[in-house]
Amino acid sequence: MSVWYEKGIQFKCQGSGKCCSSRGEYGYVYMTLQDRRNMAKALDLNTTEFTKKYCTKTSGVYHLNENEDSPDCLFLKNNKCSVYTGRPTQCRTWPFWPDNMNAKVWSNEIVSYCPGINKGRLYSKKEIDENLKLEADAENELFIS
């Protein structure tokens, strides 16, 4: 079946930090068990310590604690991720999230929000679909971990 992004989409992070800043439903950085393991390792903590220190469970799902005085992610420092190698699936797969890949949402919201879109290398449909699957699997895992 043909999709609107059949020919791929260019994307290269421009370091705006915008996707690391809360906005409505994009507010939480959700954390699967594997995400918590990866980020704990990057911070040299065990998963339990990391979860206690940096995560909260809301409606049965773990996410990073929110900054009390800023909409920015706790780990955003000078517009850069300070735990880049351990960043969670949600951050790795941006902007190719299932909710974003509706043609109207993409052109009306995502393109104007993220300055990295239509810049840099071309992501093929296959790569985009792989990111979509990773993100969809992570969203499902949230409820079982």
Binding range to ligand SF4, per CB under 6 A, among 5-13, 73-81, 111-119, 122-130: 73-81
61 binds ligand SF4 (CB under 6 A): no
* SS3 readout for the chain: CCCCCCCCEEECCCCCCHHHECCHHHCCCECCHHHHHHHHHHCCCCHHHHHHHHEEEECCEEEECECCCCCEECCEECCEECCHHHCCHHHHHCCCCHHHCCHHHHHHHHHHHCCCEEEEEEECHHHHHHHHHHHHHHHHHCCCC
31 binds ligand SF4 (CB under 6 A): no
20 binds ligand SF4 (CB under 6 A): yes
CB of 75 to ligand SF4, least distance (A): 4
When the beta carbons of 12 and 126 are compared against ligand SF4, the nearer one is: 12
76 binds ligand SF4 (CB under 6 A): yes
91 binds ligand SF4 (CB under 6 A): yes
Which residues of this protein are in contact with ligand SF4, per CB under 6 A?
A: 20, 29, 73, 75-76, 81, 83, 87, 91
